[in-house]
Amino acid sequence: METTPINQKKRIYVLNVPVDVVSPEHLEGVVKGLLSNNETNQIVLITLRDLLRARRNKEYFSCLNTAALVLPISPSILRGAKFLLRDMPIRYMPFEFAIKLLGILEQNNGSLYLIGQRQPDLQVIESNLRDSFPGLRIVGRCNGYFKKEREEDIILAIRKAAPSLLLAGRGIPQNDLWITQNKKKFSPGLFFYCGECFDIISGRKQRPPKALWNSRFYYFPDLIKRPWLLFGIFIRIYYGILLLFHRIWKL
């Protein structure tokens, strides 16, 4: 386990995949530390499927391993950490985390660049964010689903704008991996993909109730809309077997 006492972040490993432990009271200090380190800092929120994907996909594992902050949004990851006798991570709701992040940036005179979604939705997102965070400077925007030949010009525009945070939504190639692949081309700052956050800010999706999110039935709304997700039980069984073997051979 790696510990960074300066910014109150601990990096643990669940099935050899990095996960960071950051308490809500230390989140602002962590973000300020990342903003001042003069590096390109990627923030990634991961589900159980993401964790298992990192075990078999070298590029995605590298994305998580080089990210400045890897935070779990699946309770299964927390239970796995506990079973493996690791420090217990904190589970963050994606939309709530994004709002906290934007609030910290506003308090510290930060700037924001938006990329993703279709143009009409992006306009709504920008307008809503200006209303909610009047002290946050939005220094640029670019809709997603762009053609490959536009990519270098878009990256150049982001680098010139040098935002404190690049907030990305749906419509960028490979989501988190696009940020990882292009990190060296950007100016220092924070880089965060959250497609769900853009959906909620644009009004395309409702924000999940906090009580439901914290309950064991948080996945029910998605299950009703997409019943095939029920087969995820086999993923959890596989995950449990991996945890058992890992604990036996690592102890």
Mean pLDDT across the chain = 90
Quick check: 221 pLDDT over 80? no
Quick check: 225 pLDDT over 80? no
Answer whether 134's CB lies under 8 Å from 105's CB.
no
Tell me whether strands 2-4 and 111-115 are parallel, antiparallel or unpaired.
unpaired
The predicted pLDDT at position 6 comes to 46
**How far is Cα 224 from Cα 158, in angstroms, rounded to an integer?**
39
Quick check: 82 pLDDT over 50? yes
Q: Which of 105, 186, 165, 175 is nearest to 144 (CA)?
A: 175
Tell me whether strands 40-46 and 69-72 are parallel, antiparallel or unpaired.
parallel
Q: How far is CA 99 from CA 8, 63, 95, 227, in A?
A: 20, 23, 6, 30
The predicted pLDDT at position 4 comes to 47
Q: What is the mean pLDDT of residues 35-54?
A: 97
Maximum distance among all Cα pairs of the chain, rounded to whole angstroms: 54
Domains, the chain? 2-202 (3.40.50)
Q: What is the mean pLDDT of residues 156-161?
A: 97
pLDDT tens for 179-215 read 999 999 999 999 999 999 999 999 988 887 776 566 6
The predicted pLDDT at position 224 comes to 55
Q: Is 182 exposed, middle or buried (0-12, 13-18, 19+ CB in 10 A)?
A: buried
The predicted pLDDT at position 234 comes to 85
**Confidence class for position 35, pLDDT limits 50, 70, 90:** very high
Quick check: 3 pLDDT over 70? no
The predicted pLDDT at position 231 comes to 61
**How far is Cα 209 from Cα 3, in angstroms, rounded to an integer?**
33
CA angle 26, 135, 121 (to 5 degrees): 95
Quick check: 142 pLDDT over 50? yes
What percentage of the chain carries pLDDT values higher than 70?
87
